[in-house]
Structure 1
Amino acid sequence: MSQISNVQCLEHFEQVQFLDLRQNILKGDRAKCCKCQLINPTYIEQAFQKWIQKTQDEIQYIYTEFQDYLNPLKLFQEQMRQTQKSFDQNCEHIINEIDYLIRGINYDKNQKIKYLQFFGENISLSILQEMAELMSEKAPILKQSKRDVQLYIKLKLIINFAKQVMIEQQNSVIQLVKQQQQAKEKIETFKDIYLQHKSQYQYTETKNIYNIKQFEVCRVITFNKDDSIMLAGSNSDIKVWNFNNGKVTENQTLTGHIDDVISLTFSLNQDLFISGGSWKDMKIIIWRKHNDLWKYTQIMDYHKGYVPQILLNKNDSELISCSSDQTIIVWKTSLNVWKLEQKLANHEGTIYGMSLNYSENYLVSCGKDKSVIVWKKQNNIWKYYQKITHDSYAFRITFVDDDSFLFQLNNEGFIRLYSNQSQEKFQESLEQRITVQDKEDPWLLFPAFYNVEKKLVIQKQNQFVNLIINQDNGTLNIVNTIQCESHQNNGALSKSGRFLAIWDSSPIMEGDGIIKIYEIVYSNRE
């Protein structure tokens, strides 16, 4: 604490005595002296006590979380030791039994040889008679003795026992390997989740680096897995752009929908993307790359309304679509053909948006019925888990970690954050409400985006596109705001979190607009 006396504020060059701990304050404006403008500041001593307590809580949290994964590993290690010990004991028993058999067989062999050799050394009448008996058909010389048969039976029993032991040990090892794999997967999942809370990047600035004039209405944009392709809706067509570090060249125009394309999602693993259509179309189309050209390979027309959003899970095994027909459809793929697996029908109005958490065991959806519904995956089936209701409809919903999601209501001037810290129900964190620039936004498109690695949220509100950083301590702060010409704007964050594309509609000429490419600059933390 004695070192604090040397710290001065940048404005008055007086000793810093207070810290401003409010959420929406920039880092450079938090240290205050007595001459600074003060609104509920915290004394340095109190701040240090809070910091010490928070550090201790973080250390305890990390210790507890890691211990939950160390204990199963230690148990698995002990099981392996017991298996090895049991296996060694069984092998030793089998070896001893075989050794006993070998010694018995050798003894019997030597006795027979000695017996036969005896005939040639001491010839008598009785021996001659026994030799005749042995050479007769009645008693062939190679006839097995009773001991031979007993040894053979015992040998078969030992061999069968050995086989059974090997099978049991093999099954035991297989089971332990499965447990080890499950433990490894849990550790990897925990590692990924843990890294979400410890970002290695610090947001620096946002730069507009390229613009594309597009006269057709663009209602959706998305990027592929490595930021090398950008897709943009162009009325009912899809434009495919080659994307090279923010420089864009048009490659192909795809036709297949008969009404505006309003949803797009790209696979993280392969050259595949999915599109969803508006009112007159209502179709979902699967597109794959063949000989460097994109072609549609399947059309699904189960929905009876427009398709505002489509999600594809991390390993491309599950596709989730929502619609104005009040349903969510879960699709599963087999031999590259998508089939309806499950229909979720708990909403009572148009569903505007959805989001999967990182572990893909929670799904949230929101819509016109003024509700947010949480779905939980159990035994590979999505089940209704929780319903959150408000006095207005919700949209632009996204998970920001495994147990927290945020969204907007259309008549509020802030973003709500809900968390599930108790593993029971999601509840709002009232202190985490993020104030935005406008209360209403009549434009329902432009979904929210979240990049796990960069911990960056993209959230539109009317003419404003907010860049929000999820801090290591769990607080959410707006670090930059891009103001568009019109509230009718759409965009997407690239998969790397490095680029942001926004189609900004002209407020004068309907349909006339510009796709603006922004580079988001980060610095590496030490």
Structure 2
Amino acid sequence: MNTQSIVSQLGDKIQECLEGFQQELDSSYSRIEAFLDQLSLIPNTPVPQNNDNFVSQVIQISQPLIQILANQVIHELKPLINLNIQEQIQQTQLQLQQQLIQKQKISQPIIIDHQHQLNLKSFTYNLLQSKSIKQSENCQAIAINKDNSIVLAGCNKLIKVFKFQQEILKQTQLLNEHTGDVTTLNFMQKQNQFVSGSQYGQIIIWSMNENIQWVCQQKLNAHSQYINCLVISNNEQFIISGSNDKTIKFWYQQCQQFLCQQTILDHTQNVEGLSLNDLQNRLISCGYDNLILIIERLSQDQKWNVVQRIQVQQFGRRICFIGDNVFTFQPTLKQHMHVYEMNSTNKQYSKTKEIDVKSGYNGCDYWFPQQFIKKKSLVVNKNGQNVNLIRKNQNGDFITQQSIDFGHNNIYGQMSEDGEYLMTWDEKSKEIQIRKYYQE
């Protein structure tokens, strides 16, 4: 029996049970209406003729008025309850289908709005050579805001702010609050804020003021060494940072200030990569200690707990969730990207695939966070001197569509959230380069 048949049969059973409930509900409505009809037949209670004539009049009109109001409530309430029942049927059927697919390890196609169906035609990111700008200082972090109008570049200790308009970068501001090299940059999506991390463990929250200038709002100084990785929750209520001081710190916003509320100490070497799942209740980390940690929060009020430790043969700096139950991990300079999937029975992750990727270099391989671009179902994977662009198709297979060879391992960058632009800096060209998505 196929999955669709099982879902259909279970759905019919649910429909039958809920229809029984609906019949009982209709019967309750009938009993209420019968009670209200009886209420109108009850004679009015005699009221003594005194100065309380007004009270007598109110009592005489109250019973029919109550009946009218109650009937109106039933009239409006009944369709709402019936609609809720139908929604529950549809939601339960969808949940059953997802659970069956997970148990049978059938890869789900990416669910996208019908008006924006994913087009899986071939593509390439082409260099806009005339748009590149010279950047002689090391640029170890790049960030692009949600509407692709602002670009940040960490240039040694400075942060350069660029306006990005008509595919041209124009510098508008220079920020110099950091005392060490800037290593991470992350825009917030809901507010005009971004977060930067640096060499000596400092994290800065930046906000845009009334003059459309970025200003330092808060400095977080709990880490003692390099900030290697940083993620921001979707609701922007907490930040998670990983450092060379071997710790993962959770910063929660209280009264417009971020405070460190928890520290994970399970890594024994540098924390190199972090990623949150779609539900925001599970965090993965990878470290220089050849360890991947699965860290989970069971409810909004509980602390984060390490629920699984995965020992790997080769450490990596890049790790990324693909949805909730799949993540990718890139061992440093290896020719394969690993795919891990969660077992639906024991809720443990294990490696299920190895995807061929290009590297081409045997030296150091520093920051450049791995990304998953949902709108294009695309993994951005920096490995050695290559940036590999890997598409996850509707069958759950990962296929490398393009590998960009920069001729040097010092490459840093980010892809825009919509997947339209890839911006990088590399030591060979010493340029901030812009590549644009073209569908073939």
Quickly name the TM-score band, shorter chain normalised: 0.7 to 0.9
Q: Measure the CA separation in 2 of the matches of 1:295 and 1:278.
A: 20
Q: Measure the CA separation in 1 of the matches of 2:194 and 2:92.
A: 27
2:352 aligns to what? 429
Question: Which of 376, 384, 392 is the equivalent residue of 1:470?
Answer: 392
1:230-254 per-position Cα deviation (integer Å, ceiling 9, x unaligned): 1110111111111125321111111
Q: Measure the CA separation in 1 of the matches of 2:168 and 2:438.
A: 16
Between 415-424 and 484-493, the greater mean CA deviation after superposition = 415-424
**Aligned partner of residue 339 in structure 2, secondary structure:** strand
1:437-478 per-position Cα deviation (integer Å, ceiling 9, x unaligned): 337451221111110110111111111111111121111111
Distance change >3 Å, CA 65–CA 247, structure 1 → 2: farther
Q: State whether residues 391 and 400 of structure 2, in contact with CA within 8 Å, keep that contact through their aligned partners in structure 1.
A: yes
1:330 equivalent in alignment to 2:237? no
1:344 aligns to what? 264
Q: Measure the CA separation in 2 of the matches of 1:67 and 1:440.
A: 56
| TM-score using structure 1 length | 0.67
**Aligned partner of residue 273 in structure 1, secondary structure:** strand
**Aligned partner of residue 348 in structure 1, secondary structure:** coil
Question: Which of 419, 427, 433 is the equivalent residue of 1:516?
Answer: 433
1:402-441 per-position Cα deviation (integer Å, ceiling 9, x unaligned): 21111122253221111114352111114x3324233745
Q: Measure the CA separation in 1 of the matches of 2:413 and 2:10.
A: 41
Q: State whether residues 416 and 434 of structure 1, in contact with CA within 8 Å, keep that contact through their aligned partners in structure 2.
A: no
Cα-Cα RMSD = 4.1
Question: Which of 39, 44, 52 is the equivalent residue of 1:98?
Answer: 39
1:374 aligns to what? 294
Question: In proportion to residue count, which structure has more strand?
Answer: 2
2:194 aligns to what? 273
Q: State whether residues 413 and 439 of structure 1, in contact with CA within 8 Å, keep that contact through their aligned partners in structure 2.
A: no
Question: In proportion to residue count, which structure has more helix?
Answer: 1
Q: State whether residues 290 and 314 of structure 2, in contact with CA within 8 Å, keep that contact through their aligned partners in structure 1.
A: yes
Q: State whether residues 196 and 455 of structure 1, in contact with CA within 8 Å, keep that contact through their aligned partners in structure 2.
A: no
Q: State whether residues 463 and 487 of structure 1, in contact with CA within 8 Å, keep that contact through their aligned partners in structure 2.
A: yes
2:380 aligns to what? 458
Shift of 1:336: 2.1
Matches within 5 A, 1:384-463: 384-410=306-332, 412-423=334-345, 424-430=347-353, 432-438=354-360, 440-463=362-385
Distance change >3 Å, CA 75–CA 328, structure 1 → 2: farther
Q: State whether residues 223 and 494 of structure 1, in contact with CA within 8 Å, keep that contact through their aligned partners in structure 2.
A: yes
Q: Measure the CA separation in 1 of the matches of 2:89 and 2:241.
A: 30
Q: State whether residues 109 and 396 of structure 2, in contact with CA within 8 Å, keep that contact through their aligned partners in structure 1.
A: no
Matches within 5 A, 1:207-286: 207-209=126-128, 210-279=131-200, 282-286=201-205
| TM-score using structure 2 length | 0.79
Q: Measure the CA separation in 2 of the matches of 1:474 and 1:226.
A: 29
Q: State whether residues 276 and 284 of structure 1, in contact with CA within 8 Å, keep that contact through their aligned partners in structure 2.
A: yes
Shift of 1:287: 0.8
Q: Measure the CA separation in 2 of the matches of 1:388 and 1:237.
A: 37
Matches within 5 A, 1:129-144: none
User: Which structure has the bigger radius of gyration?
Assistant: 1
**Aligned partner of residue 297 in structure 2, secondary structure:** strand
Shift of 1:341: 2.7
Q: State whether residues 72 and 183 of structure 1, in contact with CA within 8 Å, keep that contact through their aligned partners in structure 2.
A: no
Q: Measure the CA separation in 2 of the matches of 1:320 and 1:284.
A: 11
Question: Which of 406, 410, 416 is the equivalent residue of 1:488?
Answer: 410
Q: State whether residues 485 and 505 of structure 1, in contact with CA within 8 Å, keep that contact through their aligned partners in structure 2.
A: no
Distance change >3 Å, CA 67–CA 330, structure 1 → 2: farther
Amino acid at match of 1:425: Q
Structure 2 segments unaligned to the other structure (5+ residues)? 53-58, 99-107
Between 228-237 and 323-332, the greater mean CA deviation after superposition = 323-332
Q: Measure the CA separation in 2 of the matches of 1:185 and 1:289.
A: 44
Q: Measure the CA separation in 2 of the matches of 1:496 and 1:216.
A: 28
Distance change >3 Å, CA 179–CA 141, structure 1 → 2: closer
Shift of 1:362: 2.1
Distance change >3 Å, CA 203–CA 376, structure 1 → 2: farther
**Aligned partner of residue 132 in structure 2, secondary structure:** strand
Amino acid at match of 2:409: H
Amino acid at match of 1:295: V
**Aligned partner of residue 309 in structure 1, secondary structure:** strand
Q: Percent identity?
A: 25
Q: How many residues in Structure 1 have an aligned counterpart in Structure 2?
A: 408
**Aligned partner of residue 202 in structure 1, secondary structure:** coil
2:121 aligns to what? 202
Matches within 5 A, 1:358-369: 358-369=278-289
Question: Which of 21, 25, 31 is the equivalent residue of 1:89?
Answer: 31
